[in-house]
Amino acid sequence: MRIAFFIPVLLAFLLCQEIQAQQSFSFCKDTTRIPDTFINCGRDYDPVCGCDNVTYRNECAAEIWGGLFNGSWSSGTICGNFDIDFFPTAVTYFLGQFSIFFKVPGSATGYIYDAFGKLKNLQFYHSGSSNHVETRELPVQNLDLGIYVLFVVMNGEPKYIKFAKVTQFDR
């Protein structure tokens, strides 16, 4: 008898929680427009944590690419323990700019794999301070044309970015 009463009450409680979560999310995102990823939001990596719990590379990306209402993000921070950024994602024979944001002190390992799963580059990153951005240029000039995955692991948490090598330097 108690279980028969408890289950409907629990379901009603969970439904109310879901409705509240949807309402708080809907107030931060402009549902009347389609995010436009073709607008250039620059190469500046100044991450913001959006109200949708997504880290965007800067305020422009949160508003234009993410479709968030202006100001519905926290500047100078990220969602989660770390974040990565790589620019541009269509690289030529120049170096690619890689940034990693450490919300807490720690170490991370970065791997670049080709489309066949072969390891092409390995780098280690470390930060002794909180809210620290480390930026490095990655050596992509010696990579063959193709698709690559930049895979970073910090404290067992993985993140990845795909990029393409689109032109080769002819000597």
- Position 9 scores a pLDDT of 56
Q: pLDDT above 90 covers what percent of the chain? A: 54
How far apart are the C-alpha atoms of 163 and 153, rounded to whole Å? Answer: 17
How far apart are the C-alpha atoms of 39 and 21, rounded to whole Å? Answer: 30
- Assess contact for 138 and 112: CB atoms under 8 A: yes
Does 124 share its domain with 56?
no
Could you tell me the two tokens for 29? 């995102």
CATH number at residue 140: 2.60.40.2550
Q: What is the pTM of this model?
A: 0.76
Structural domain ending residue among the three candidates 41, 75, 109: 75
How is residue 51 annotated by DSSP? T
Does 60 share its domain with 96?
no
Q: For residue 110, what are the domain limits?
A: 82-165
Number of domains in the chain: 2
Does 140 share its domain with 157?
yes
Structural domain ending residue among the three candidates 55, 75, 95: 75
- Position 22 scores a pLDDT of 44
Does 71 share its domain with 43?
yes
Range 46-65 average pLDDT = 92
Range 164-168 average pLDDT = 87
- Position 24 scores a pLDDT of 44
How far apart are the C-alpha atoms of 3 and 32, rounded to whole Å? Answer: 43
pLDDT, one tens digit per residue, over 97-149 is 999 999 999 999 999 999 999 999 999 999 999 999 999 998 888 889 999 99
In a domain, 171, yes or no: no
Q: Has residue 30 got a pLDDT over 50?
A: yes
Q: Has residue 18 got a pLDDT over 80?
A: no
